[in-house]
Chain A
Amino acid sequence: MLKSVIKMEFEPKLVGFLCKWCSSAGADLAGVSRRSYPSNLVPITVNCSGRIDVSHVIRAFRDGADGVLVSGCHPGDCHYTSGNYKAWRRVALLKHVLEDFGMNPDRVKLEWISATEGDKFAQTVKEFTKEIKELGPGPYSNVKERE
């Protein structure tokens, strides 16, 4: 009843896996610089983007996320030398498989954000939120856990 009166706009649920050294610090900078960006993204700080397991992303979608952002240091800048290259390869393979599962691979976004790029972080979240809004709800967004 209420829903029919107030037209509810789809607000995507986004999960962001951010590396501790660059992207998470970038997110902090966006905050202390008072950049405004949508509140759709739930940030999860991991030690390194190379720590992000493909199953973390798949699990996020299974549990109702509409989009997943993976973000790490710029190529060549990884605190652990090569973790971001690992994330790069994992995301490339993951997108390929997601397509076969029947999902739009654009629901996963890989972005390099350094500790000084607060603006870029805010911009990325803005754009990603907009993109996923256009794509609509994710594969498990409306499904309660089946038995």
Chain B
Amino acid sequence: MSKKESKKKVAAYWAASCGGCDVALLGLHERILDLLDFADIAFWPAATDFKYEDLKGYERNEIDLTFFNGGIRTSENREIAEIIREKSELLVAYGSCAHQGGIPGLANMSSNEELFETVYKNNPTTVNPEGVVPQELTEREEGNLNLPGLQERVKSLSQVVEVDYTVPGCPPPPELTEDFLDLLLAGNLPPKGSVVAGEKTVCDECSREWNKETIDEFHRPQEVEIDPDKCLLDQGIICMGPVTRSGCEASCPEANLPCKGCFGPPKKVEDQGTEMLNSLASVVQIGEEGGSLEGEKALLSNLPDTIGTFYNFSLANSIFGGKVSDGGNDEQE
């Protein structure tokens, strides 16, 4: 067997993502050369000029490893995810969007019609007097034009196809990707289905001092001067650290910003947002003796945008998965 034939094949794909995860792969710097010693790139739209036809031409499981970033937003995302799953021996959900739906998943709080209204018509910076909105099918004399349609809801990769490993983060820190590659090259990977990051929570890695103070008022980080040594929750700032998987070395709290939860929930936790509510309930001043209904209302009124706060990255994977319609009848089948 020639050297070329013995080489492995790696691929990377972006679905509904910002492109940051592809940059994060390049953030491996010279380590990416180690990867290329070991494997050829088989498909990577962000960096190389392979077409979908090339991807479809591979045999089943011919690609040894695929880093898939981005959530499943369009019919194209879904189709390629299914093809990639078939062609890949190992499929890695790379980054928060593939792992949990990520920021694009927050679109699940609106219907597709509402999204189109906002983006193409009612946006203050949009000029669209004729109300032109993209269509899946446009018929012209020269022929029909097709665009992929939006799925009803944004999904994470694992909600669409089977995922072998997850490297979380928005984007995953290069060290984490290196750790994953080291485990892979050493043939030392954990059981399939594992999230390759820490097992505990961000708080375990955070160096801030926690005094178990109760919160009588919430603050948003831009409203107050943050003490760099005290726990952010002690200061009334919502930090998702207690319910977020470790592995980032608490990089946001160490930079004086609250954790937003990009690593997803730790092991055995299904819904990051509800877990944060449980956690927050132990420290807020509600309902205790001396607490009043007015005080409770005032406290909660300082907690706007709860979905963006508690489900910033994990809405698609949460129990509700997005906005619900009360009354139940709208979603009747």
Contact = CB atoms under 8 A, between A and B. Distances in A.
B324 A89 contact: no
B284 A100 contact: no
B243 to A, nearest CB: 11
Contacts of A94: 274, 277
A96 to B, nearest CB: 5
Interface in B253-295: 270-271, 273-275, 277-278, 280-282, 284, 286-289
A55 B270 contact: yes
Contacts of B333: 142-144
B287 A85 contact: yes
Given A58-B319, A90-B278, A85 B284 contact: no
A90 B320 contact: no
A142 B325 CA distance: 11
B326 A104 contact: yes
Contacts of A140: 324, 328, 331
Looking at chain A's contact residues, the main secondary structure is helix
Interface string B292-318: 000010001001011100100000000
A53 B274 contact: yes
A92 B287 contact: yes
A59 B329 contact: no
B143 interface: no
Interface residues of B, number: 34
B332 interface: yes
Contacts of A61: 320, 324
Interface string A91-127: 0111011001111100100000000000000000000
A61 B328 CA distance: 11
Contacts of A54: 274-275, 277-278, 281
A79 interface: no
A137 B287 contact: no
Q: For B303, B305, B331, which residue has the most chain A Cβ atoms within 10 angstroms?
A: B331
B154 to A, nearest CB: 13
A139 B277 contact: no
A58 B281 contact: no
B323 A89 contact: no
Contacts of B282: 86, 89
A128 interface: no
Interface in A58-92: 58-59, 61-62, 66, 75, 85-86, 88-90, 92
Interface residues of A, number: 35
A103 B274 contact: no
Given A53-B278, A94-B277, A58 B271 contact: yes
A135 to B, nearest CB: 8
A137 B270 CA distance: 26
B306 A100 contact: yes
Interface string B206-218: 0000000000000
Contact of A58 (B274, B286, B328, B329): B274
Given A96-B306, A97-B306, 15 more contacts: A55-B274, A58-B319, A59-B319, A86-B281, A86-B282, A93-B284, A97-B307, A102-B323, A102-B324, A136-B327, A137-B328, A139-B320, A139-B325, A139-B328, A141-B328
Question: Nearest 10 CB-CB pairs, A to B?
Answer: A139-B324, A137-B328, A88-B287, A55-B274, A89-B281, A54-B274, A90-B281, A141-B328, A142-B332, A54-B277
12 contacts: A53-B274, A55-B319, A89-B286, A90-B277, A92-B287, A97-B277, A97-B307, A100-B307, A102-B326, A136-B328, A139-B328, A140-B324
Interface of B: 270-271, 273-275, 277-278, 280-282, 284, 286-289, 296, 300, 303, 305-307, 310, 319-320, 323-329, 331-333
